[in-house]
Structure 1
């Protein structure tokens, strides 16, 4: 292993520590006993309902990804899409910023050898749909919590919606932006030996824009509607009297912070975000942390463990026998 690779590994390790440092700092500043008591008081039936229905999110995401791949001429059956997406979710849950979800390209290559860079393109668009929705709802949260003036809020929201629509419909704009990014001096220098790869990814993403994104966008809205409802049920199971809208908006802001590549499974950044935003509507730090930890246990631990089965199943299928 050369020194450059070692430096990159050490850097990634240090980046992950930031989220852990944040969660340790938060736990040192709150009443841990009270937090644990809140978690212990959770109503089991609602929590079990949330845990079981969390699998529906994987199914919906797999359907969305299957549609995106079909738009690129990659016909993969639903069960295979579910297995690959679940495996990617598991890897994403243990990597900073969920970058591990791009491992789906590796699994897809095993199933569809001719997919080339289309796999990365479909995964990129799939991920961008999540990011765009979270950012838009995050802006709505800032408006709802009165962080910005009314005029600024409206302009920011309209700008976000306009950009989202243009990027989803206009192929020329998408092409211009992607080529500008890849031709920008730092990126151009880093990727100069991989021009064929970047061009393949660019063309793949461009091919997915247009009317073909309407159904994936609708599914994205359905995914997060389900997630916010599940979060509301979980909050009620913990004894919190908070509306679905407030929970959803606070989670959107927390998810924006969780996208930063400084944490694993959102630990630290999610808690900090929820303490801040839920505190604005009267929820205490212990309540916010217990709610965040409940989310982590269900989606970051239980759902990830469920998805890990498919990860190892695919690895077993594709394992090359020793000669």
Structure 2
């Protein structure tokens, strides 16, 4: 009787385990597919409301010289980010050629073509470098790079809130609230007691604990190398100024020459934060919708706003393709060395 009960219990456990595995497999396929369908649905909705002929008409102003200039801006933007990353890695005792880091950064764009948000590329380029240099060190450097970028981006937005009277109060309040949220998040991560308390929350707890540990380590690095961190913050401000120049150049390239600069410093941070949400693969549809909403507030037509969004997406895809080529060439080089 006992043996029979034991067999039934074992069989029941195996059934439960199998069911959990099936549920996990379904979730791993279902949610990515759902996100992709959502992104495609938003794109279809956008193009059903903005005539394709109007969008094509905006691109008639795009010349080869503009294309080359826009690509150059992307190259410089990536270079500034890589320079930040290199400095922060050096504070961890990691010395890497900037050409290699540049390639890995482009590889991050390639990973972002597959993963649901900009976070995927960051994690994977950090992991790739950390295989030889130490995962903890590269994770801290990557965390600090993104943290300093978020700080400078929101700080610039708040500064320009007070530099314009034409922007709606709701958009100004949004930027200020985002900055306050950033400050509150910083306070939470700074407090070990608060982090320990939040770790008790199911599902969210492990993520908070990981980010809290990274923040504490990043804080230690910052206090030990304050000059390097100040240089990184300065580069972060430069990067986000160039990010606004990037949007401004995209606007001018398709004929929207009246784009207001001060207002762009307010809305671009909001657009970038919305685009980083892991809702659809590489914010497909989400990013376009954000550009249309906010740029139309600044005086762009829907077709012009969509044109800007499409150019920025095309540039991200170009960087991703270059990143994929870098990974392919690196793999071939390693294969030749082994052979």
Q: Residues 280-291 of structure 1: matches in 2 within 5 Å?
A: 280-291=297-308
What is the distance in 2 between the residues matched to 1:314 and 1:87?
11
Q: Residues 223-242 of structure 1: matches in 2 within 5 Å?
A: 223-241=239-257, 242=259
What is the distance in 2 between the residues matched to 1:254 and 1:153?
11
Structure of higher CA gyration radius: 2
Shift of 1:200: 6.5
Asked if the contact 2:55–2:307 (Cα under 8 Å) also holds between the matched residues in 1, the reply is yes
**Equivalent residue for 2:149?**
130
What is the distance in 1 between the residues matched to 2:159 and 2:48?
31
**Equivalent residue for 1:85?**
105
Asked if the contact 1:135–1:252 (Cα under 8 Å) also holds between the matched residues in 2, the reply is yes
Q: Residues 39-118 of structure 1: matches in 2 within 5 Å?
A: 39-101=59-121, 102-112=123-133, 115-118=134-137
Q: Residues 227-306 of structure 1: matches in 2 within 5 Å?
A: 227-241=243-257, 242-298=259-315, 300-306=316-322
Please list the CA deviations of residues 73-128 of structure 1 after superposition, one character each: whole Å capped at 9, or x if unmatched: 2222322222222212321243212122211123213442xx13222222222223
**Equivalent residue for 2:13?**
none
What is the distance in 2 between the residues matched to 1:22 and 1:141?
31
Gaps of 5+ in 1: none
Q: Cα–Cα, structure 1 residues 100 and 314, in superposed 2: closer, same or farther, change >3 Å? A: farther
Instruction: Point out the more displaced range, 310-319 or 117-126.
Output: 310-319
TM-score, normalised with respect to structure 1: 0.80
- How large is the Cα RMSD of the aligned pairs? 3.6
What is the distance in 2 between the residues matched to 1:254 and 1:199?
26
**Equivalent residue for 2:327?**
311
Shift of 1:36: 1.1
Gaps of 5+ in 2: 1-17
What is the distance in 1 between the residues matched to 2:243 and 2:269?
11
